[in-house]
Amino acid sequence: MLTIQEFTNKYMKYAILDENKNFVEFREFDVLPAHKPNRILPVNETFPEYDLEYFNAIQNIEVKDNSVEVTYTLVQRTDILDNVRSKRNELLKDSDWTQFNDSPLSNEKRQEWAVYRQNLRDLPNNWDNQIPIIFPIKPE
């Protein structure tokens, strides 16, 4: 069993940068990869005081010479769900045409779109409080 200190040291959060030193994504490593180490920088995070009614959302990412500074802000849970519903409704509206009888899609493709749309409708109720919120992927 790992102690808190061992766990903290085992998995470090790093920022992955592109060739122009722009932020791409966060990753956690137990062993730092040997390839392109100048594009992998440690992350220093500044969090606001914790509150159960809010989520920490990234406010700013600043790439420095030897690290990446990440500042968080608090976002109310209800605001997140309102934004999810709004985006979900837009995606549903934009895909309404796929379910019309005169749609140019095959029955198979129409069914793929129906599943996608149902997953969109279920999204707010199936949200597991994880950020970022992952929306279903549109069929091709």
Interior/surface letters 36-73, b for 16+ CB within 10 angstroms, e for the rest: eeebbbebeeeeeeeeeebbbeeeeeeeeeeebebeee
pLDDT at position 31 over 80: no
The pLDDT, as a whole number, for residue 32 is: 66
> For 28-41, what is the mean pLDDT?
70
Residue 15, class by beta-carbon neighbours within 10 Å (0-12 exposed, 13-18 middle, 19+ buried)? buried
68-106 pLDDT per residue, tens: 888 888 878 778 888 889 999 999 999 999 999 999 999
**pTM (2 decimals)?**
0.52
Give me 14's structure tokens: 């790093």
Beta carbons of 43 and 16 less than 8 angstroms apart: no
Q: pLDDT band at residue 6, thresholds of 50, 70 and 90?
A: very low
Q: What percent of the chain has pLDDT over 90?
A: 28
> For 13-36, what is the mean pLDDT?
77
The pLDDT, as a whole number, for residue 82 is: 87
The beta strand positions in the chain, using DSSP E, are: 12-17, 23-29, 40-46, 54-63, 68-76
Residue 32, class by beta-carbon neighbours within 10 Å (0-12 exposed, 13-18 middle, 19+ buried)? exposed
DSSP state for residue 98 in the 8-state scheme: G
